[in-house]
Amino acid sequence: MTQPVDAALRTEFAPTGTLRVALNLSNFLLVQSAPPGGEAVGIAPDIGRGIAAALGVPVSFVPFPNPGELAAAAGSGVWDVGLIGADPLRAAEIAFTGAYLEIEASYLVRGDSPLRTLAEVDRPGVRIAVGDKTAYDMYLRRTLQHATLHRAAGLEASYQLFVNEQLDALAGLRPRLVADQARLPGSRILEGRFTAVQQGIGVPIARRQAAAWLQQFVHEIKRGEVAALIARHGVKGVSVAPLD
């Protein structure tokens, strides 16, 4: 069971009295909508509401256009809990839980591309379009040995870069690549995944008691609640992360 909530923990989580939950608006799988002044809809907003309810505090949402800006604001004091892909390159500023959900990432290539497998993408001269500071961009920065990354500000911009610059591959989350494949006749999504983006929950690095509480919270919601949220919002291409 999640440890009890006392006044000290509540204050560490929500020093303003309201839990300010940061949302990454570019992750359409987890945030379906978050209109200004309106009701945020999706798996991530529902998890944020669940955390606030467990703590016994009100909730408000702080939207960011992309994960890079969300992560960069971790030390600014504008948010208390961030729903973002966990990545070691962000760990200097954010204390992450384990993953509650996974999203497969792969590559889209043109129909006449010689690339047939994931391993073939990491070769000298291969140019990959990718959304800047996405979780899979951060992963590819660490792991690619030969191919080069060409970054764009956002998912749509990375698709346009891939098409307009005739790049060799487009890196992305599989559900988005399926939509992009439909826009580009003859294109193919390579089988398998080069990573599964781990969607975790983060707090600013100094909030250690809050981080420990959230770790147990995530462990518990993976026992059934995350699957229920996936079904409720009709999200395809994601799965509950394995239990620790």
d(CA 88, CA 141): 12
Between 146 and 197, the more confident residue is: 146
Q: Say if 7-101+196-240 and 103-195 have the same CATH topology.
A: yes
Domain 7-101+196-240: what homologous superfamily? Periplasmic binding protein-like II (3.40.190.10)
pLDDT band at 120 (very low <50, low <70, confident <90, very high): very high
CATH class of 103-195: alpha beta
Tens of pLDDT along 165-212?
999 999 999 989 999 999 999 999 999 999 988 899 999 999 999 999
Average pLDDT over residues 83-110: 90
Tens of pLDDT along 56-76?
999 999 999 988 899 999 999
Nearest to 25 by CA among 35, 15, 17: 35
Task: Give rounded-to-5 percent helix, strand, coil for the chain.
Answer: 35, 25, 40
- The domain ranges of the chain are 7-101+196-240, 103-195
Tens of pLDDT along 3-56?
789 999 999 999 999 999 999 998 888 999 988 888 999 999 999 999 999 999
pLDDT at position 80 over 70:
yes
pLDDT band at 87 (very low <50, low <70, confident <90, very high): confident
State how beta strands 195-204 and 81-85 pair: antiparallel
- Concatenating the DSSP letter of every residue in 3-31 gives PPP-HHHHHHH-TTSSEEEEEETT-TTT-
Mean pLDDT, the chain, rounded, equals 94
Note the pLDDT of residue 219: 95
Question: Is the pTM here over 0.85, yes or no?
Answer: no
Note the pLDDT of residue 244: 75
Helices (H) and strands (E) in the chain, counts: 9, 11
